[in-house]
A and B are shown apart, each in its own frame.
Chain A
């Protein structure tokens, strides 16, 4: 990257439109009196959006005057952050990731395409539609090689696809962002290999299924490699102990998810149970547990399941949720006081 300079040809002035002014005023209000300079980055960003994707010299001056900052301070910031374009850009500004993972996956060829279709970096095509620049890692290495065009990522590119995308953008056709090779987000090509049973539900359902696989893989997994971790979370949780997978598997066989109900109109305040806070209450509600009576009726297998689900290591039994919930279900606070000799929390 060479030194970033202001464009040689500058507009005469910058006048903020109504949205920019409103945004600027709102941004300044977020900060305490006298600290309005804190809003400089959002303002420059907004100014850049209004100004066809680049920050002009009059725009820097306007920002500085709006925030009561010396020009040089805003200039420092605008030149420091590469996200602020100091030169005019095309309607579609391509930021091409050239960092190692993308380079290994073929970003050099993509650059050739850009050079062919657009020209040198920061050149704007004669129709004003396209421009490109090489940038550092955009954090989408798993879908390398990739480019960012305006606000969207285009991933898993080949030179042909990129050329097509550029041509489509130019001609005004709609282009689908994201992976360009039938991958779904960053899943493996050809579909997911793990968590297949019901991917839509929470971790709760996936877990036993994963655990079922665990014993078979217990030996090779013993020194949990990251690659296998994803496939066998249960095994990975206790990789150090060789016994663990077997033990977990044994528990897995005996546990049972308690039955949930739909949210009733008047749910009990589960926080009354000593050991349950607002966070846990939410989690329990998520499992369909709303009533003291439900908790009171949990079987050993169900307790074990919940205990495992919450990684409690036996806290439900230690705190005796069942007895507490029983008392609360039976006679509310009075019964609780009678049984435990103190008020519930």
Chain B
């Protein structure tokens, strides 16, 4: 990598690595080069010819800068650095020629095109296009293809850059798309127009430089210049992908990815991208109170009064609180604060029943190597997880690393298509025990690896023997040297809930002396030993298990929790509040409010604050800043926004001691249906369609 070359670009000398292409060198030098097919994260195709530049001493014709390496350039006769020009008349003429060819068959339907306003071709035509058409023949027309419910095609607009094909093959890992036919008749299509099967397919919409692939749900909804763009964080999985929420008036119109090299690069999953229609439907926009078995709309005061009456009549040990997967740190802290004030010990932020936070402190529940650290791993063991469904963007990173470096990967758990090859060692704890005892071949692979990574999924630990499994996995990681050194901690827990790490950081856990965790709360409620259960956005529970308990549900969507509730307090969704989230690798990030919550719904921590007033235990903060000051006191790492606080490896030692007997039941991923994992997704019609399509396909495959 230290091989540097000096090149002269438009008369300015610049030093770049020899493996750079001319296009990259030009970008480094600040010279703008137009392009359609080139994309820095995909392989080079060199087929649009828009990036032509003049190379001195090369052949007397323009060169495609994306496909020519700096290392291949010849120096001048006396060893002068090679010269490249990006602004000469030759370059301008060449690009104008390319543009004219591209526009020959491109329809002039910009006024009805969804890409209008953010179209590469439109922008570059302003710079290189001519105002007249010299092409007198008929334009080509191409039949539109069905490639799934998410991506709409208007194939006449396609300029054959093949970015979408390269993306689905290389990053998505599902070879759905292809370029059929040849020459002018070339067409992008899936085989027999089947729907694409990747969880990342929405990204082809962003990649398409023209309006050939556009978002189907967003079709004809808005123009980019009407939208208010808010930079935020995604909560659909525990990665905390960087997103941009585009809103108009009070509605979120679409969600786009933002660049964050450390987390999501520039991809987001389909759930992240197409969730927005779920933000409009099934919303809880005012408080409800159950009277005579029926939920009736109520005012805030009535709802608080109903809660206060019930809680005051109940002893603290018969009250429980469970927080869900989408909660921000603010409301988690406020919930814990309120419960502490009431003297309630039965608090849990782990509605899936995982044992995190009980032993081993922070390193025991973080993705310690970091998401970007996957690129440094030289062997990966996946235990009880299907990363393709639990965190598609992270899975794409594993795939990319596997593709580039061919690292060995093994899986204990479900044998699913993860888009890369792996050794399936076994399905359950015995395999993990065998591996930990060194009885498996893969033990040697991990042992010889310098930076082995053990990925532990929720499927391995969300069970009654979870702590023991976690201990065994930690022991294995320690054995193979994954946790030995200061610079590499290969013990990686992949969470599925955006709220989880912040909850664990803030110790939203059962009180030390006999507090109930989620599992115990459910069984206690079933037995009638718990009278009040406070569900903070917790919907993924067996609601029937709550028995006769009085249920308070605070959340944004009318899902399972709201149906069971006796009092409903309408909260805000993640696009409607400024909330702190900590992702699975321990990176603190903050969402920004893009729109206001609908109707009477409020930001969640303010609801808890108001409720505390009604209960006579007023929480001592009146603004978000005051609340956050308290949070930062409790967990200083949450103050460092966008920073990743690494946990000490020593913390793992305590966890290793928990390694013990495990049940024999197989590990299985907690995400059964990728499209329907949270209340917002379950409210989305688009997600429902995707889910039905996926289930239909599974049935087909089973036949």
Contact = CB atoms under 8 A, between A and B. Distances in A.
B185 A76 contact: no
B201 to A, nearest CB: 14
Contacts of B178: 72-73, 75-76
Given A3-B187, A57-B192, A75-B191, A70 B175 contact: yes
Contacts of A75: 178, 180, 191
B181 A72 contact: no
B179 A73 contact: no
A73 B180 contact: no
A79 B175 contact: no
Interface string A172-189: 000000000000000000
Interface in B125-168: 142-143
A79 B179 CA distance: 9
B291 interface: no
Interface in B166-187: 175-183, 185, 187
Contacts of B176: 70, 72
A72 B193 CA distance: 10
A3 B185 contact: yes
B185 A4 contact: yes
A2 interface: yes
Given A3-B187, A57-B192, A72 B182 contact: no
A80 interface: yes
B678 interface: no
A70 B192 CA distance: 12
Contacts of B142: 3
A15 B292 CA distance: 67
A80 B177 contact: no
B190 interface: yes
Contacts of B175: 70, 72-73
A2 B185 contact: yes
Given A3-B187, A72-B177, A73-B175, A80 B182 contact: yes
Contacts of A79: 180-182
Interface string A146-166: 000000000000000000000
A309 interface: no
A2 B190 CA distance: 19
Interface residues of B, number: 17
A340 interface: no
B673 to A, nearest CB: 24
Contacts of B182: 79-80
Contacts of A2: 185
A12 B255 CA distance: 43
B506 to A, nearest CB: 47
Contacts of B191: 70-72, 75
A75 B181 CA distance: 9
B197 to A, nearest CB: 11
Q: Which of B176, B177, B178 has the most CB of A within 10 A?
A: B178
Contacts of A3: 142-143, 181, 185, 187
A59 to B, nearest CB: 14
Nearest to A57: B192
B153 to A, nearest CB: 15
Nearest to B174: A70
Q: Which of A3, A71, A72, A75 has the most CB of B within 10 A?
A: A72
Nearest to A64: B191
A1 B185 contact: yes
Nearest to B182: A80
Nearest to A71: B191
Contact residues of A: prevailing secondary structure: helix
A1 B176 CA distance: 26
Nearest to A60: B191
A3 B176 CA distance: 20
A206 B183 CA distance: 47
A4 B186 CA distance: 9
B52 to A, nearest CB: 26
Contacts of B181: 3-4, 79-80
Contacts of A73: 175, 178
A241 to B, nearest CB: 33
B208 to A, nearest CB: 18
B181 to A, nearest CB: 5
A113 B119 CA distance: 50
Nearest to B140: A3
A99 B175 CA distance: 37
Nearest to A3: B185
B294 to A, nearest CB: 54
A185 B180 CA distance: 38
A75 B180 CA distance: 7
Nearest to B190: A72
Contacts of B183: 1
B162 to A, nearest CB: 11
A71 B178 CA distance: 10
A57 B191 CA distance: 10
A40 B176 CA distance: 18
Q: Which of A2, A6, A57, A75 has the most CB of B within 10 A?
A: A75
Interface in A250-302: none
Interface string A1-38: 11110100000000000000000000000000000000
Nearest to A6: B192
Contact of B180 (A1, A70, A76): A76
Interface string A52-92: 00000100000000000011110110011000000000000
Contacts of B143: 3
A325 B176 CA distance: 70
A80 B178 CA distance: 11
A1 B186 CA distance: 11
B155 to A, nearest CB: 10
B157 to A, nearest CB: 16
Contacts of B192: 6, 57, 71
A80 to B, nearest CB: 5
A79 B182 CA distance: 7
A187 B182 CA distance: 36
B71 to A, nearest CB: 28
Nearest to A80: B182
A76 B187 contact: no
A12 to B, nearest CB: 15
A345 B494 CA distance: 73
Contacts of A80: 180-182
Interface in B186-241: 187, 189-192
Contacts of B187: 3
A174 to B, nearest CB: 37
A5 to B, nearest CB: 9
Interface in B402-429: none
Contacts of A76: 178-180
Interface string B649-674: 00000000000000000000000000
A49 B180 CA distance: 22
A75 B190 CA distance: 9
A339 B390 CA distance: 87
B300 to A, nearest CB: 56
A79 B185 CA distance: 10
A3 B184 CA distance: 9
Interface in B64-116: none
Nearest to A72: B178
Interface string B54-67: 00000000000000
A75 B177 CA distance: 11
Nearest to B181: A79
B659 to A, nearest CB: 39
Q: Which of B143, B180, B190 has the most CB of A within 10 A?
A: B180
Interface of B: 142-143, 175-183, 185, 187, 189-192
| Top-8 shortest CB links A-B | A70-B175, A72-B178, A71-B191, A79-B180, A3-B185, A72-B191, A76-B178, A79-B181
8 contacts: A3-B143, A71-B191, A72-B176, A72-B177, A72-B190, A72-B191, A76-B180, A80-B180
Interface of A: 1-4, 6, 57, 70-73, 75-76, 79-80
Given A1-B185, A2-B185, 4 more contacts: A70-B175, A70-B191, A75-B178, A76-B180
